[in-house]
Structure 1
Amino acid sequence: MVDLAFSTNAYTRHPLPEAIDRIAGHGYDGVELLADTPHAFFPEFSERDREATLAALDDTGLDVSSVNANTATGYYDDAPPSSFFDPSIVTADDEDREWRIEYTKRAIEFADAVDAPAVSVGTGRPLANNPPEQAHEYLENSLHTILDHAEEHDVRVGIEYEPELLVECTDEVLALIGDVGRDSLGVNLDLGHAAVYGEDPAEAIRQCAGHITGVHLEDIAGGRRGKHYHLVPGDGDLDFRAMFDALDDVGYDGFATLELYTHTANPDEAARRAAEALAEFR
């Protein structure tokens, strides 16, 4: 059976230790830690913050499923709409790209400190004056630097693909893993993203077998090719039985993490309802 975790990115109206405590109160086995504001944004994340996080994990007994380093909203004093991924590890500006590489290294060190097996990273988008071929070159160079650091800390890096990013589907992430050729690189498989792209999420699991560093769960209205809006399981049209059967079939023994950042207004309700909806799979 796959253990369930819940991401703190639904609890951005609460301090990180409180988010951990609230998630534990809903009976989850693990927690994913947001490596961004207002939780663990590393330029502002003090030693006291780190100690408080470790204390909350110790008090609750929760394991850390992963460190979510997909976003960098904290980079901006007044974040523009495009801040969700930028600056990314494919950004054309050398200084901005280096900032994101170093930030990801900090996320790896944090993962090591909280005994998380992996860090998730989005590729970002090929924006103006950065065509996909050039962005791919930046991506691979960035990843080799990041993976050198990850291997020193015994932490894996999972690429989370998403429609409209440079790497946006299963075939592309597997091609990237093959091109980079390092065991420390895998996929943080967001099954809702697979569905929105038009893939069968259960088949995506089977294709990624042996490369999955973590799993993100959410429901999607409209199922395959539906709208990219994260819903509580049961509120959309995804087949969770098929997805959990596929995880069993490939022998996946990590966490499946609910990622419901769209429910910050009432994260406790979302966490409770999601746990109830998926109780049969635990």
Structure 2
Amino acid sequence: MKFSFSTNAFIRHTVYDAIESIAAAGYEGVELLADIPHLYVHTLRASDIKKLKASLTANRIAVSNINANTVRGYYENGDAEPLFEPCLTDPDPEVRGWRIDYTKKCIDLAKALNCPNVSVTSGPIQPESTPEEGIEALKAALKEIIAHAEKMNVKVGLEYEPGLLIESGSELSCLINEIGSEYLGANLDLGHSHVLGEDPEFTVKLLQGRIFHVHLEDIKDRKHFHLIPGTGDMDFKKLLSLFEKTYSGFITVELYTYPDKPIEAARKSLEFLKGLAGRRIVSDAVN
């Protein structure tokens, strides 16, 4: 089982410092935030990508995912702006087109870094549109994005989240089936699934074969606040067992809620997860 850690916990550090710290903590992979303050793709230069490749090579770490869920860099004062805006369901065609183009550039970045997938979200329901109109706009946007993804051989994992237009595993499964491309699948966040009260075994089976990347964090009392694994209510022994035979990709710990102590959060998370995985190996050997 391969574990990764997201740089979105390191927003007070450079992306290079984040990569070095995540590798030093013992992770095999790193998820890169495709947004300020790390990799805002509209301002990335060829020299930046060259430096990034050198950092990844020097730290002997792979890119697990390009996290294109947010684009706060679109705004002049990014930190104060809505988290998922502008989104793929924006009623303004020009704004929606900008977001589509940004996502395509994230796919290009993934290709350049030998990363197999990019994650996006549907964004929230827009106040000017009905959910049905939002779904139609989302499908049109995804079809354009997926056409580019197919050319680049990079997969797109849509991440569902409570409060967004696509907010459940069943909604995502329907969307994947409607689009009908093997390049569209899930960036499955197990914490989001837990908040929604979904049965994890059912959800993993529902999305089986289309889970391109996994986000992991702990949750307490079904409140959507990302916690270090082992400090909330989630049954990680059961969760990890669901992926042993059906998933070979990275499981990325996502703890953007720890910007003041990302290194500590990364180390504690991996210590817990490796300890749990080790106990499973011993238990299986005994049995």
- Class of the TM-score when normalised by the shorter of the 2 chains: over 0.9
Which letter does structure 2 place at the counterpart of 1:164? G
Match of residue 268, structure 1, among 263, 267, 286: 263
The letter of the residue matching 1:197 is L
**Structure 1 CA distance, aligned partners of 2:68 and 2:79?**
18
Contact 2:6–2:32 (8 Å) recurs in 1: yes
Alignment counterpart, residue 248 of structure 2, candidates 248, 253, 269: 253
Q: Structure 2 vs 1, CA of residues 136 and 74 (structure 1 numbering), >3 Å: closer, same or farther? A: same
Equivalent in the alignment of 1:103: 102
SS of 2:186's equivalent?
strand
Q: Which residue of 1 aligns with 2:152?
A: 153
**Alpha-carbon offset, residue 81 of structure 1:** 5.2
**Amino acid in the other structure paired with 1:281:** A
Amino acid at match of 1:63: A
User: Does the Cα contact within 8 Å between 1:205 and 1:243 map onto a contact in 2?
Assistant: no
Whether 1:239 aligns to 2:238 is no
Tell me the percent identity: 44
Task: Kindly state the Cα deviation for residue 179 of structure 1 after the two structures are TM-superposed.
Answer: 0.5
In the aligned structure 1, how far is the partner of 2:219 from the partner of 2:152?
A: 35
Task: Tell whether 2:226 aligns with 1:227.
Answer: no
Match of 2:205 in 1: 206
- Residues 188 and 215 in structure 1, CA contact (< 8 A), matched pair in contact too: yes
What does the per-residue CA deviation read over 1:11-33, in whole Å, with 9 as the maximum and x for residues that have no partner? 11111111111100000010001
**Contact 2:19/2:56 (8 A) holds in 1:** yes
Unaligned 5+ segments in structure 1 are none
How far residue 86 of structure 1 moved from its aligned partner, in angstroms, is: 0.8
Question: What's the counterpart of residue 125 of structure 2?
Answer: 126
The alignment partner of 1:263 has SS state of: coil
Note the C-alpha offset of 1:125. Answer: 1.1
**How far apart are residue 42 of structure 1 and its match?**
1.2
Alpha-carbon deviations, 1:45-77, whole Å to 9, x = none? 222221221111010111111100000111111
The 5-angstrom pairing of residues 171-186 of structure 1 reads 171-186=170-185
Structure 1 residue 203 displacement after superposition: 3.0
Paired residues, what number?
277
Offset at residue 201 of structure 1 (A): 2.7
**Moved runs in structure 1, 4+ residues, more than 6 A?**
none
Counterpart amino acid of residue 273 in structure 1 = K
Whether 1:68 aligns to 2:67 is yes
Alpha-carbon shift at residue 90 of structure 1 (Å): 0.7
Give the conservation status (yes or no) of the 8 Å contact 2:89–2:126: no
SS at 1:248 equivalent: coil
User: Following the alignment from structure 2 to structure 1, what is the Cα–Cα distance between the partners of residues 60 and 201?
Assistant: 31
- Whichever residue aligns with residue 137 of structure 1, its letter is E
State the Cα distance separating 1:82 from its structure 2 match.
Answer: 5.1
Unaligned ranges ≥5, structure 2: 279-287
Q: Which letter does structure 1 place at the counterpart of 2:206?
A: Q
Give the CA RMSD over aligned residues.
1.2
> Within the alignment, does 1:112 sit opposite 2:111 as a pair?
yes
Tell me whether 1:277 sits opposite 2:276 in the alignment: no
Deviation of 1:80 after TM superposition, in Å, equals: 7.0
Give runs of aligned pairs for residues 26-105 of structure 1, distance below 5 A. 26-79=25-78, 83-105=82-104
Deviations 1:168-224 (A, max 9, x none): 0000000000010111000000000001111123432222111101000000012xx
